[in-house]
Structure 1
Amino acid sequence: MNKKIKWFQSIHFKIPMLFIFLLLVSLQIIGAYFIRQLETELINNFDNQMSLNVRFLENSLNPILEDEDQDTTESLIQNILRDYIGGEFLEIQVVDDQGYILGTNDQTRQSIVGLKSTDRDVQQALLLESSRKYQYLDEDKNSRVLKNVSPIFSPSNSGEIIGIVMMESNIETVYSQIRDVVTIFLNASFFAIIITIILAVIISRGITKPISEMRSQTMNIAQGDYSGKVRIYGDDELGQLADTINDLSLKVKDAQETTESERQRLDSVLKHMSDGVLATDRRGKVIIINNRALELLGMKQEEAVGKSIMKVLKLGTEFTFRHLLETREELILHIPEEEEKEESILQGEFSIIQRETGFISGLVCVLSDITKQEKVEQERRNFVSNVSHELRTPLTSVKSYTEALQEGVWKDEEIAPGFLQVISTETDRMIRMVTDLLHLSRMDQGNMQVEMEYVSMNDLFTHILDRFDMMMQSEAYREKNYKIVRDFTQRTLWVEIDQDKITQVIDNILNNAIKYSPDGGSVTCRLMETHNSVVLSVTDEGMGIPRKDLNHIFERFYRVDKARARSMGGTGLGLAISKEVLALHGGRIWATSVENKGSTFFISLPYESFDDEEEWG
């Protein structure tokens, strides 16, 4: 793949940056050391010069301060200080041993002569008889000042302080010189960097040009083009590398042609296989998968290749890759349900890819779809189990009551009729179940015959409900106070149906609604039309159907409340038969329900509206 290199990742950028970085580091080290040494040297020189001036003043002032003539002292001191006006000398003050100012070189401050000094450094030097020297920033002038306060000791009386010399000098000139030097150094560094960049770009081009050509050729080789050659610029390492790439191009071309022919044969075999095939590397990553395997697993090529076979087959934590390598058994894989797609059941057979040395380099898995076989087998087992269970209950009752009659209960005129009634009821239940099973069997085999005729659904539904109204007046239902509510469209709806079979479906739904309705409950029956269907609905006020059971109630032998359904004589086949009957008519049946509030069953039949005149004209 021709991946675009970002500008900051290119050698054209890295080589100049390397030179610049090395130069900057060198200049930083050299500049920091040089400027620091220069600054130290200039400040020390300035400090030494000022110290010499202070000592010179001390020597000049010693005989004057020893003289007790006050008027002569001040004039002599003032004459000496005139030599220190201007230059680096900002202010020089001479103070006697009592702290009074005897003279200053600042001509604008002659008024302070004769006053007592308020300078803390002067007072501290008189008190401690020690000198002080430091720098501070003059905020008014925004410049740095070197302040030197030194005591003057009497030469005749050792240790006796006779005055103070306070000198403030402008050291900012030294820092100005340092800044000038730094500016010169930075300008020189800038020009050095520019020259370095130019040289680095020239050098990088000389290196990267043959590398770029080699990269282009290797990319062509990767894309299957082996015709080009890399130009050799010299006999150095890059030249030898270019010659090696040219030789490699020829060898890869031969190997590629051999591999391509083998791959085409393998792809042809995999493509036409009816089973799914996956192959992994030694770490369990899928490297080959055919279209049939992708179809069975419901995946795309990019979702499977490079992924672990454990994730592709959705094995979870139940198995490990080592287990797949060691197993010799077939595994049954259940692929979870997806939207509008049922769960798939696959059979996986695994075999290892092993070299002659014994090294295991991967695994091959062959997948077969056994969903239909498993479904048929499961339905067969469920059917046998359900039929056996449903028939066993009434047969057990018949056998028990028959044995009781054989033992003499038939002689009891009060008990015997009840026993015979139970036997008759259970026999009728078995007959209904067998009849329902025969109906379903005919439907499954496609042998169920339907006699279609145009019927008014309004009249048919009314007739069925009238019959149930009469049944509600019978002795068995009189105390329950059931009520059937009708809500029909005023338009007469003619539908082509098998009247007997549709009547059986509606009877079954109404019977269920009445069975599960509470005493005094209402059963609401509606008849309506849509643009292409006639819809019947039956709503009860019973216990309702749980959400988890709602999608299964049309399955054979499925009961929401098994104990109550059997006690009411149900076989668990009525709704399944209703679904099959409606399928024969091109219709459908479904239900909605709210627990503890009731259920509604809907029947939809195909319907085409026509006028009587058009039909009979």
Structure 2
Amino acid sequence: MKKIRFYHTLKAKIVIIIAMVIIFALQLMGANFITQTERQLVNNFQENQKLQMNFLENSFAPFLEMHENPKDTSEDIDPEEEINALISDFSGTGITSLIVVDSSFVVIGNSDTTQQVEVGQLLNDEDVRTTILQGSASSKQIINSQLNARRWRMVEPVYSSEDSQAVIGAIVMESNIESIYEQITDITLIFLRASLIAILLSSILANMVSKAITDPIKEMQTKAKAIAEGDYSGEVTIYGNDEIGLLAQNINELSEEVETGQRRIEAERQRLDSVLSNMSEGVIATNRRGELDVANNMASQMLNLSRDELAGQNILSLLEIEEDYSLRDLVDRKEDITLNIEAEEEDALLRASFSVIQADSGYISGIVCVLRDVTEEEKVEEERKEFVSNVSHELRTPLTSMRSYIEALIDGAWKDPELAPRFLDVAQSETDRMIRMIQDLLHLSRIDAGKSELQKELIDLTALFTQVLTRFDMLLDSEEYRFKNYKIERNIINEAIFVDVDSDKIVQVLDNVMNNAIKYSPEGGKITCTMTLENNQVLITVKDEGIGIPAEDLAHIFDRFYRVDRARSRAMGGTGLGLAISREVIEQHDGEIWAESINRDGTTFYIALPYIPYEEEEWGWD
């Protein structure tokens, strides 16, 4: 039985759940408490500063009026001195900076002697200008760049006592709001320490509760494991009349019922084995989970596995249909399924029919599968249908085209000196196309029949690939392709790579891939050809800059008669067999060929051939 890790146990889950609930509750309460506290402290601070600002306005207003109207001022009173005296008195009440400005934006008083703006200078401050010109107050939180601390800045207009609309100056007050946030930080730390203590205590309590629950469960688990192994002796201790106690009692009763049922099932199994062993068809039966319980000798022979190897296997994976069917599909399915079973000598086709093992109550306890060997007839019928369908489809178009042109010639087109040669050229082209297709079909037929033998020899693949590309360079310089400005770029390894291959067949593959790259490249397109050594393989890649291949078509481009764009492929003279032949040839060489097309930005074909380095001694050279 698989051992459960601690963090997967019920005990750990109970402790974690309780701890997490407390953590979430504390987080929610703490976040709400701290947020409300912060909001209240900041509001109180701002209200207090507003009261101080109102008091300052009342205190500075008379002296600002004297400053604005010096003629009405007594000679014994200097408004500027009085204002600076008042500033000095208020500087120690939590105010970090206090500036008084007249209606001309000139600083009359400043509590901070370290600031660049001195008394008597213009104060170039946007908030002050707005306040004096518009009579609007402003307040906001700022950062003191020198102390890197938060400050509350208020700018209030001072109105004339004679004209309530006339602004005679402004007061700029900055106060230390950082202390409020320090208090909030202290409150947060206190709350966190209390939360940690609460979490620790709750974890201890949760551990005690979970232990009281999980200990009886562990004992039941041990008993269930013994029952699964066929040991029905002993009983689970019942600790109480709660749900866990009732569960322990049920397990004890289940142990007795399982023991009785197991004996009955064993007797039935022996009788069933006797019947199945003499049947001429393969029969397999599964349990409710699809695992094989029964298989007769004929099923063992058909599936090429011993009865011991069949036992316990899942029917979907055994029949290799898990990608297409589920157990529910087999239960509901009425039609037979044809299976292809791989064997050392020859693959076998089996026709499988399914039925359910169902109790009177409707409970489905398993599936019965009957296997019949239909290898020969299915292969013959399938190949006949596929061949007739593909060949008739591929031959219909050129024959129809030839018939149309021949009928036109019979009707008199042969007399036209311009139409007649062109019609004959089309007829000859379609005839050549059918001949090529027949030749490809014969080639594939020989491969399928195992009659296509490779004439292998040790050749320099670098030189062979270079020779093929040179031939295509000459082709692209011909009159037919010259105006399209195709370009072949080479990235070939600069050394001789000797591989054991059939050079004619490999050249045929390279020709097919290169022809496809040229066909589907746009005018001026570049075809990049690469040859490298990777992991005991020679990897050849051919990349074009065409429109690419859709993802849904990539898996089928090597199928016979498959075309991504059928109309365009026929117009270019394709038979739909070139890539199929290429795949068969490469697989004959124990290699691999595939294609990639990302975002339909061109297509890259990969050809991988096995490569074993040869030492000079292996060649028999001295």
TM-score interval w.r.t. the shorter chain?
Answer: 0.5 to 0.7
SS where residue 141 of structure 1 aligns?
coil
Q: 1:158 to 1:221 in 2, by over 3 A?
A: same
Residue of structure 1 in register with 2:476 after alignment: none
Residues 494-552 of structure 1: CA deviation (Å, up to 9, x unaligned): xxxxxxxxxxxxxxxxxxxxxxxxxxxxxxxxxxxxxxxxxxxxxxxxxxx96667769
TM-score, normalized by length of structure 1? Answer: 0.53
Within the candidate set 105, 114, 118, 1:99 is matched to 105
Pairwise CA distance, 1:92: 0.4
Residues of 1 paired with 2:99 and 2:351: CA distance? 109
Cross-structure match for 1:36: 35
TM-superposed deviation, 1:50? 1.0
Q: CA RMSD in A?
A: 4.4
Structure 2 equivalent of residue 26 of structure 1: 25
Q: Is the 8 A contact 2:38 2:181 kept in 1?
A: yes
Would the alpha carbon gap of residues 191 and 302 (structure 1) be closer, same or farther in structure 2, given more than 3 Å must change?
A: farther
AA of the residue aligned to 1:338: A
Counterparts of 2:11 and 2:361, CA distance in 1: 48
Q: Could you give the per-residue CA deviations for residues 156-183 of structure 1, whole angstroms, max 9, x where no partner exists?
A: 3222222211101111111111111111
Shift of residue 46, structure 1, vs aligned partner: 0.9
2:235 alignment partner, one of 226, 229, 234: 229
Structure 2 CA distance for partners of 1:191 and 1:223, relative to 1, 3 Å: same
Whether 1:338 aligns to 2:343 is yes
Amino acid at match of 2:168: I
Q: Separation in 1 of the partners of 2:14 and 2:187?
A: 31
Q: Percent identity, aligned pairs only?
A: 39
Q: Secondary structure at the match of 1:288?
A: strand
Alpha-carbon distance, 1:21 to partner: 1.6
For residue 10 of structure 1, what is the amino acid of its counterpart? T
For 1:12, the equivalent position in structure 2 comes to 11
Q: What's the counterpart of residue 130 of structure 1?
A: 136
**Rounded Cα–Cα distance in structure 1 between residues aligned with 2:180 and 2:356:** 85
Structure 1 unaligned regions, length at least 5: 376-544, 553-593, 596-617
Is 1:306 the counterpart of 2:314? The answer is yes
Runs (5+) with no aligned partner, structure 2: 378-444, 453-503, 506-622
For residue 305 of structure 1, report the CA deviation from its aligned partner: 4.1
Q: Structure 2: which amino acid aligns with 1:112?
A: E
Aligned to 1:454: none
Contact persistence 1:352–1:364 (CA under 8 A): yes
Contact 2:335–2:353 (8 Å) recurs in 1: no
Contact 2:96 2:176 in 1 (8 A): yes
Residues matched between the structures, number:
377
Cα offsets for 1:449-502 (capped at 9, x unmatched): xxxxxxxxxxxxxxxxxxxxxxxxxxxxxxxxxxxxxxxxxxxxxxxxxxxxxx
Structure 2 CA distance for partners of 1:98 and 1:323, relative to 1, 3 Å: closer
Is the CA contact (8 Å cut-off) linking 2:286 and 2:315 kept in structure 1?
A: no
* 1:20-419 alignment runs, 5 A limit: 20-67=19-66, 68=70, 69=73, 72-86=78-92, 88-108=94-114, 112-267=118-273, 270=276, 276-279=282-285, 287-299=293-305, 301-302=309-310, 305-308=313-316, 311=319, 338-339=343-344, 341-342=345-346
| 1:95 and 1:165 in contact (8 A); partners too | yes
Deviations 1:393-445 (A, max 9, x none): xxxxxxxxxxxxxxxxxxxxxxxxxxxxxxxxxxxxxxxxxxxxxxxxxxxxx
What's the secondary structure of 1:112's corresponding residue? coil
Please tell me whether the aligned partners of residues 88 and 171 of structure 1 are also in contact (alpha carbons under 8 angstroms): no
Structure 2 CA distance, aligned partners of 1:16 and 1:137?
Answer: 45
**C-alpha distance in structure 1 between counterparts of 2:97 and 2:10, whole Å:** 62
1:19–1:196 Cα contact (<8 Å) kept: yes
| CA contact 1:350–1:366 (8 Å) conserved in 2 | yes
Q: CA deviation at 1:265?
A: 4.0
- TM-score w.r.t. structure 2 length? 0.52
1:6 corresponds to which letter in structure 2? Answer: R
Give the CA deviation at 1:310: 11
Q: CA deviation at 1:232?
A: 1.6
The structure whose Rg is larger is 1
Structure 1 residue 114: Cα displacement:
2.0
Contact 1:94/1:101 (8 A) holds in 2:
yes
Structure 1 Cα separation of the partners of residues 59 and 333 of structure 2? 106
